[in-house]
Amino acid sequence: MADEQTVREYRTEELAEAAGIPVRTLRFYRERRLLPPPRREGRIAWYDDHHLARLRTIAALLERGHTLGGIAELTAAFESGRDVGQLSELLGMGWSEETPVRLTPEALADYFEGEVTPENLAASLDLGYLATDGDEIVHVSRRLLDVSSALVREGVPLAAVLETGRQVRAHADAMAALFTDLISAHVADPEAVGRLRPLAKSVVEAELSMALDRLLAARSQQNADQPSS
């Protein structure tokens, strides 16, 4: 029986036709290192579906206003970024309740219109928010993706969102350590931390809500105390 997982391969002309571009454009992209090198068999260059997916991504990003230079920088950032295996190791994904989201590069560009720069991409990879899996991007958390994109739509620069995320991560790690130490010191059950984690989430949510109430009330009072012009 034929192997259903066999990757389709294309000669140069076949790949260009499948992508809907001239052969000279394909060669230009290869010279600019926008495409991974093909497999060589003598003088014949063989491409596969990963190359076709990359060409379609390039076309979609060009339609969204990205330059070839910018696309090259983004490609380099992705290819030097963490893969999904490293992401799981970094964040302990086996314990996570978050839902990862798979995205194409053009879909990511749509979430953060005009904000997907090499610098922001590198910061996202460093934080562990993004990882790569073949031709796809994986965001670690649907909730974080939705919140980040909502803040950007409100006018907050993505770079500022990511820097705040880095600070929130440090505070969250500290709160997680407090809860873990509390439970470990007083509950003998080795599974207690995992079993009681909803309690920690409730405490954090309640305290954050009350902290926001206090801050907003204080600012409202400050505004009321200011003399009117």
The beta-carbon contacts of 18-21 under 8 Å, at least 24 apart in sequence, are 18/52, 19/52, 19/55, 19/56, 19/59, 20/59, 21/55, 21/59
pTM score > 0.85 for this model?
A: no
Burial class of residue 62 (count of CB atoms within 10 Å of its CB; 0-12, 13-18, 19+):
middle
pLDDT tens column, 94-153? 446 788 898 888 888 888 988 888 888 888 888 888 887 777 788 989 999 999 999 999
What percent of the chain is predicted at pLDDT more than 90? 44
User: Distance between CA atoms of 188 and 201, rounded to whole angstroms?
Assistant: 21
Contact residues for 153 (Cβ-Cβ < 8 A; gap 6+): none
User: Distance between CA atoms of 171 and 151, rounded to whole angstroms?
Assistant: 20
